[in-house]
Amino acid sequence: MINRLSLDYKQLPLIATISLFVLMFSFGSVRYTGFFSAQVFLNLFIDNAFLIVIAVGMTFVIISGGIDLSVGSVIALTSMVAASLTMSAQWSPFIVIPISLLIGTVLGLVQGSLIHFYNLQPFIVTLAGMFLARGLSYVISVETIAIDHPFFSYMASTRIPLPGDTFISISVIIALIIVAIAVFIGHSTKFGRTVYAIGGSEQSAMLMGLPVGKTKVLIYTFSGFCASLAGLIFTFYMLSGYGLHANGMELDTIAAVVIGGTLLTGGAGYVAGSVVGVLILGVIQTIIVFEGTLSSWWTKIAIGVLLLLFIVLQRVIVLRSEKKQGNQ
């Protein structure tokens, strides 16, 4: 019964997401000259590689029934640490990068431990983490730290050629590798199955003898790692560190994951769906750029409307599932 319900109802948001992306890209292709091209499509990945990475980590968190509000601030803190160590301390990037990745990983580990061992609400714990990381960014510097280093410049400017006179960036390769690893972990490992079980019913997962506590800690640790990795990619993109980087990015990430078909109630969702959700946000931004007469604030308006629609769709799915279960 559970498998049938998940097939009939819990995949509907993902199907709606893919259909919406196709519809929006088709609309842009018909309305704007030059929109329908391979490079415009690849630019969606290039411009949103950091958001794809951060959405991967957030997907696991939301599938488990949690939330992580600290990811945007972790991006800012990572960029500040990378910039200050590279430019002020003159450290090698091969030392700076591991240290930068540890920032979000350690913070995620601490947050996951607090949530599990002290039975605290993820919203409150990660909200505290958000303020902590953002505050530490300003402790390092209240000004922008520009990065002028050959390695960062190489990572930012290198284009990987593809057939048809198109290209992608190194950041896209990194993002796709993370997506592939996450898909494998989510659907082919005990950890991934436990994540879904916790989101479906934490109490039932405990009764089945699954390592709920360990898994919850690892979920937030992984989310923190993804946030720091996204912070490095964002640093490559901006070539600077700043305390206001990625301000509000956690909300964009949650929106992309929900639009991508992951249920806010937990227990259902797909990493690939979150990637499509990110691409939908990218298509909205691209359409606004091609239009030329619309304010960038229309991006937020469009995201808000889509998010509301998908939340309503999710609520309908949950109610239909509960009704089916009651009839059984």
Query: Which residues lie closer than 8 Å to 313 by C-beta, 6 or more apart?
Result: 12, 13, 16
Nearest to 84 by CA among 137, 41, 21: 137
The token pair at 231 is: 């912070």
pLDDT of residue 267: 86
Q: Indicate if the pLDDT at residue 53 is higher than 60.
A: yes
Of the pLDDT bands very low, low, confident and very high (cuts 50, 70, 90), residue 7 is: very low
Q: What is the pLDDT of residues 86-123, one digit of tens each?
A: 998 899 999 999 999 999 999 999 999 999 999 999 99
pLDDT of residue 206: 92
Q: What are phi and psi of 67, to 5 degrees?
A: -155, 150
The DSSP symbol for 295 reads -
Rounded Cα distance between 158 and 130, Å, is: 32
pLDDT of residue 184: 96
Nearest to 317 by CA among 24, 7, 1: 7
Q: Among all chains, which residue has been given the structure tokens 């769709």? A: 313
pLDDT of residue 326: 61
pLDDT of residue 5: 40
Query: Which residues lie closer than 8 Å to 147 by C-beta, 6 or more apart?
Result: 82, 83, 86, 87, 235, 239, 240, 241
- Find the domain containing 273 and state its range: 2-327
Rounded Cα distance between 38 and 264, Å, is: 33
Rounded Cα distance between 134 and 117, Å, is: 25
SS3 160: strand
The answer, as to whether pTM is greater than 0.75, is yes
Domains in the chain, number: 1
pLDDT of residue 9: 61
pLDDT of residue 314: 78
Angle at 231 between CA 47 and CA 284, to 5 degrees: 30
SS3 35: coil
Query: Which residues lie closer than 8 Å to 191 by C-beta, 6 or more apart?
Result: 185, 215, 218
- Here the CATH number for the domain that contains residue 315 is 1.10.3470
Of the pLDDT bands very low, low, confident and very high (cuts 50, 70, 90), residue 310 is: confident
Of the pLDDT bands very low, low, confident and very high (cuts 50, 70, 90), residue 268 is: confident
Q: What is the pLDDT of residues 157-193, one digit of tens each?
A: 999 999 989 999 999 999 999 999 999 999 999 999 9
- The percent of residues above 90 in pLDDT, for the chain, comes to 78
Q: Indicate if the pLDDT at residue 321 is higher than 90.
A: no
The token pair at 14 is: 């993902």
Rounded Cα distance between 174 and 61, Å, is: 21
More confident residue, 310 or 147: 147
Q: Any idea how long the chain is? A: 328
pLDDT of residue 128: 97
pLDDT of residue 3: 41
pLDDT of residue 1: 34
Of the pLDDT bands very low, low, confident and very high (cuts 50, 70, 90), residue 327 is: low
